[in-house]
Chains A and B, each alone.
Chain A
Amino acid sequence: DVKVTQSSRYLVKRTGEKVFLECVQDMDHENMFWYRQDPGLGLRLIYFSYDVKMKEKGDIPEGYSVSREKKERFSLILESASTNQTSMYLCASSLSPGLGASGYEQYFGPGTRLTVT
């Protein structure tokens, strides 16, 4: 059974703290993604990584950074947490689509609900 796990289901942090969200996948997938999910806005891509040590900004990267030192692990870092980063954070992984291909499935973790006070 394929699996994406996230380090915490719920997290409460104070404004200004550095926050680490960890994601691990056991499917040997090349691609990994971090999204945030807010009511009425759907899922918005923060960062994605298509290989170890490779990363690209998504649609809303401001205030976030990422690290991918090993293929199975993708970390999201909030350098200085702010209240507007209170959200549900979802990690996903997928195979690489290949040139001209599409339709690959993303496998999601259960999410981390982060509250910044």
Chain B
Amino acid sequence: TQLLEQSPQFLSIQEGENLTVYCNSSSVFSSLQWYRQEPGEGPVLLVTVVTGGEVKKLKRLTFQFGDARKDSSLHITAAQPGDTGLYLCAGASSGTYKYIFGTGTRLKVLA
């Protein structure tokens, strides 16, 4: 069974701080996605990475796919209260319809 472990599980930081969330697996994925979920809503896609070593930036968010395509990280620079939410990574193998979701990181940014 493929598993995706996220760390940390919970993170509470002050506005303006930087943080990194990790998503690790022993399995190789052909693509990996990051979602953010706000209370009372479904997850919304932030980014998809498909190439080992790939780095993508979305404003203050930087996503990296590991060289071996087994892990990924999400780095937030100068966090803002609007970044508060549950961050989920999800990995898929080539040609499959299914994504395996990580356990989630609940982030709270205090003003």
Chain A residues with CB under 8 Å of chain B are: 4, 9, 31, 35, 40-45, 48, 50, 56, 58-59, 90, 92, 94, 96-97, 99-103, 105-111
Contacts and interface: CB of A to CB of B under 8 A. Distances in A.
Interface in B60-111: 88, 90, 92-99, 101-104
Given A92-B42, A110-B42, A99 B103 contact: no
26 contacts: A4-B42, A40-B104, A42-B88, A42-B102, A43-B43, A44-B101, A45-B98, A45-B99, A48-B98, A50-B97, A90-B43, A96-B97, A97-B95, A100-B94, A100-B95, A101-B95, A102-B92, A102-B93, A102-B95, A103-B31, A103-B33, A103-B92, A105-B33, A108-B44, A110-B41, A111-B42
Contacts of A56: 97
Q: Is the interface of B mostly helix, strand, loop or mixed?
A: loop
Interface in B35-60: 40-45, 48, 50
Range class of the B interface residue count: 20 to 34
A29 to B, nearest CB: 11
B24 interface: no
B65 to A, nearest CB: 11
B9 interface: yes
Given A58-B98, A99-B95, A106 B9 contact: no
B48 A41 contact: no
10 closest A-B pairs (Cβ-Cβ)? A108-B42, A43-B101, A102-B31, A103-B31, A42-B101, A103-B48, A102-B30, A42-B103, A105-B45, A102-B92
